[in-house]
Structure 1
Amino acid sequence: MKKISLMMICLWLLPALVLGQEDTRSRTTSKSMSIKGSVKEQSTRKGIKDVEVTILGKGTVKTDVFGDFRIEAKVGDELVISHDDFATVRYTIKDGQRIDIEVKDNPIQSKSKSISKQKREVTYRDNLNAAKKELKKDASTSIGYITNALETIRDDDPAGASKKAELFETLADIYNFWKQPDLAESNYLISLKNKYNTDVKIKLASAQLESKNYQAALNTFKELLKSRLSSNQKILVYEGIGDSYVGLQNTIEAITSYNKALALSQRKKNDTKVIGLNSKLAGLLQQQGNIIDAEEYLDNSVQLAQQKDKKTSARQRSVAADFYNKSSSYDKEIQLRKEALEDIKDIKVVKDSVQPLDDDNALTPQVQNYKIANAFAAQEKYDEAITYLDESIKEAASKNDLIVQKDATRKLGEVYREKGELEKASDAFKEYEVIIDKLYVQKDQQISQAARFSRELAQRANRITTLEKDRELNETRYKLAFASQELVNQQSLRQQIIIYFLIGLTVLLLLAAYLMYRNMKQQRYANNLLALKSLRSQMNPHFIFNALNSVNTFIATSDERTANRYLTDFSILMRSVLENSEEDFIPLEKEIELLQVYVQLEHFRFQDKFDYTIDVDPEINIDQYMIPPMLLQPYVENAVWHGLRYKTEKGMLSIKFQEINSDSIEITIVDDGIGRKKSKELKTSNQKRQKSKGMGNIKKRIAILNKMYKDKVDVLVSDPENNAEGTQVKLILKKEI
């Protein structure tokens, strides 16, 4: 019925096929046809743009950006393909098929390209260095240099990925310095995508910390612990993990991580990190109420900082003073702040006030004087507090530090009020109001400047993103244009009918192919089952015949007691073999038990010929593996009957079950018998005419089972690896999937 249906379909489609063939012949034999082709470099297979493709006396076309062209021609016309980059090529049209021409580079042009590449490399490096130089001066200018460097990278540049990684790392460094951690994070990710670098990933985690994305930062730092890190990198990672836990308010884990970083820092004598980590640990211990241990850490940091430069000493004394302020130890706080003031004055003399002292605004005379005044006020020592507040206001006014000037003036009014000098307090509060108005105007200006700065950075970032996507957009645009043109050229009714006809024909053919495939698969499966059943039916008589030969030998030698014992063990083995004869697979544990009985029987007969060992790896979960029954017995039988029994001295049979991985095991059967080559030489002429039924059946069974169960068993028979006599059989057994 199926054949009749297919014939009906073919008869129904025949006229359309004939029509299509006639239409094709008419187009081929016409005077002119549209020829498509391309011109590409032989070395790179890249299309060459603006190549002139000429038919003498009929016109010229140029290739597009992909090296493709189309020209009206007929069979026998000669195409002349010319360009400055290669020698002129001539091609005669033989039919209407597509023409793809590969050309070699012009040596002169290649040299010019090489010079151009060197120039781009110099331009790239100069712009990158300039970007790094301007990083802390002008963000906009620095990003402009990054953009210029990015424009020098070509798609065919082998170092393109490394260059992009370097550029986007520098770009992220710019954003990070100018307090734009979200932009820094995204650009560090782009850098890592182009080329992995441990230092860049540490920077990424730090940017996530700056963005207060503590969980993401913690995950990134923990991923870094799986990498190979230097000691300094480990210090940064453990400190970063501690900072992340602080953000997540997990003080215990934070202290543990800080201590790991501190131990490494002390071992590497990294004093800067030791000072900072001692301070962080002191702060956390203070939060826990462990003031004694906190003070110990803090004192260690201050003592170590005093041995360093004045700026480090001043910063650490200020940190310690803040600590004692929280614990109301005002005398210690005041002493430390006075010492910090002395350090700050010394630094100012050295720097001559050309640059700000530090990114930390707390390390200024006005701030330290203000905090000393607060400490005196807390002790109700108002006169001392007034002295330092006046000094703080004076310093703040000279530095145009309206924030400190505001706070100090307000505090001065409060101190005068507490002292009872209400008129002076009123004057101070009036001055406070004036400063508030100035500060409001200043803050408004700063907000406007920050908004402009953010917009400018965003525009620069968009420019770089656009630059990266330009090539993809242009390529897509060109492809869409050509595809659109193709569709316009194919808008004919006849072509649409043929297309629909072909689609219908394809669907019918696919359906027919699927039905045939399914039928063949089912038939093949049934054939495999039949073949396996046949092979199993052959295996049992073969095994029984060989075993009965052994019994016959014992009876022939009048050893009835031994024959009786042999028959008893043999009957146990035969019962198990017959029970499993209808199964494709049995548990590995059962196969091992059968193998042990069989080897024991063979050893019983040939005790003077060989000893044996059966080793099962304790790591193997034998309950999870299934194996074809009687798979191993023929190989063991071969080892005994064709290898070991012909040895003059006593041989050894070794059977090992070893785990390869969680899904497969290796079974090795090794004997030190006479070997396969010598065994063949000892065969009688009658034995040579007969093929080994057991081994042949096993090979066929394995082949069929592997087809049915997707390569479950692999077998390799070879000589021992140490070139000794004997034979080695390796079987790879896989789990059920």
Structure 2
Amino acid sequence: MLLINIVTYSRLQTKQLSSKRILIAFIAIIYSFSLTAQERTFEEDLNYVLNKKFTSADSLAKYVMKYRRDTLKMQTLLKESNQKKYFEGASFANNVLGIYFRDKSKYEKAIDYHKTSLNIAKNIGNDELTTSALNMLGVVYRRMDQVRMALDRHQMALSIAENSDVKSEHITKSITISYNSIGNIYLTLKQYESAEEYFRKALSLEEFIHSKLGLAINYHNIGYTYEAREVFDQALTYYKKSLAYNNEIDSDLGRVICNNSIAQVYLKQGSFQKALELIRTTLTTSVEIGDPYYIAMANISTGWANQELGYYSRALHHLNKGLKIAKENKLQSFEAEAYKHLSNLYAAQNNYKEALGYNRLYQEKEEQFLNESNQRYMFDLLTKYDVEKKKAQIELLEKENEIVNIQLEQRNKIFMFIFMFSLLTIAFLVILFRQKKLAGEKRFLSLEQKLLRLQMNPHFIFNSLLSIKLYMLNNDKKSAVAYLDQFSKLIRTILSTSMEKEISLADELKTMQLYVNIENIRLCNEIDYKVSIDESLDLDSIKIPSLTLQPFIENALWHGLSAKDGYKSLNLTVRKDSNDYVEISILDNGIGRERTMKIETEKKKNNTKSIGIALTRERLANFSKNFANMHSLNIIDLYNNNNPSGTQVILKIPVR
């Protein structure tokens, strides 16, 4: 009947309408009817859910989650579910309301809703709703920087989900949320490798269930682990992958998070104008979203970018605004970040009094955050212990009719235990903090002492004195005096330079010349030692840890060249590798490391690694911490027609 009416109507309009156009019109009308039929009102969805009483969280979400931003509708679902004793619906509604208030930074209210949801879910034994409530509760605690509380909830959710008999997509999603959240907690604790490990676990599951939102979240978080480790190119790659998924699902919040992170990388790379232009878009959108967490984040980033560009009044405005929002909503990490950038802002304006004041606030907030986290964690552990003990004691007391007296006694014991344990823990943390300050200096002194003992090797001193004695017995006084003069200069140089943390490269090369001269005399002057230096280098201005080259030259002389027949050469070359490095090459034409090890094995010597070189590596690592670039050390075995033809050591020292 519908087809006849459509055709009649078409003929009245125009006789020239083709059959093809009639068919298109028919399909369009049928499609519009089908859409109208599919549209459902909230009342219809509510009644359907209440009648079906779904126990699956996924089934509930299908009909209810589209109303998640309407608190009146969620309250209606909660009220109706309570009246009809539909506990799954009540738990689900409480959890959704908790998420809503979390996104408005009303954390205490959110916690109440999530706890109510959790209690209901536990009572009915629903693993899907239990893990969901635990994870969402953990997210709230994480937003409040209560990392220990958050970690406990996410770990409980993960344990329940992994051991659940229910194998649904919702359970899989709960596992990914737990992985992701635990990864974020590791980020807070600055354990970036562990964080990346959990994010990649979550990413793998998100790929399995084809969740674009989950992929967007985890790509972003992996990017942050690279940003924190200053691998900026990798960080940008992952941030842009996340942004692409957020664009696919049209998530304004996702775009705010990604663009803010990309802008922060630009700031760290020095692209300040590029960063500011990107941050401006996030500031506008974050205000439209209305979540104070992201508004504070966007304002602080905007202030940072303006400060780097020299727009100090704008920077001050946005940093103060971000700080105010962070304080009002108890966002401790953002509060600390605002203090840090305010300190930098005032320092840039030469207002060092204000800069120092904000720096102190930053340090205090960081310290307070860490201390509060530790105290909360200790309190949580003790509270759990207290609850478990009380349950066991109450059962025993009910049987013996002595509940009140024993309960009071137990409370006193637990109170004293908490008090004493807290005092001991605080004392331990204070001592640990003080000892950590001295650890670096002690380690450096230990390395220097070990190296000095190696370089003042008793065998070297004994053999040198024996050589002098032989010259004297052979009545070769001139050689004895010359050798003794060289030996005394070397010992004096070693003792004086060992007191210095670093010396000039010029002094280091002079010391090595003395060392080679003495060892060459012992080797019957068979070594052809040559030094080649790039004339463009100012050796007096280039610093190096004292006696760094000695272990490598010693190995070349006594392991590479001493056992070689024929011509023996040792070449030391110093050249400018780049503006950032000076390259030092030590090249010998000896027998090579492989043959040396065979000879030592035949002599039944211990096949151990060079202690001197190991210590030198540690000293170089410690030395490089003061520079923008790290050192590099390569030991290369040389071959000629597959036969060992020597060894080359290439050491690159940072110069700025």
Q: What is the TM-score of this pair, normalised by structure 2?
A: 0.39
Q: What is the TM-score of this pair, normalised by structure 1?
A: 0.35
User: RCO (CA 8 Å, sep 6+): is it higher in 1 or 2?
Assistant: 2
Whichever structure has more strand as a proportion of its residues is 1
Report the structure number with the largest CA radius of gyration: 1
Whichever structure has more helix as a proportion of its residues is 2
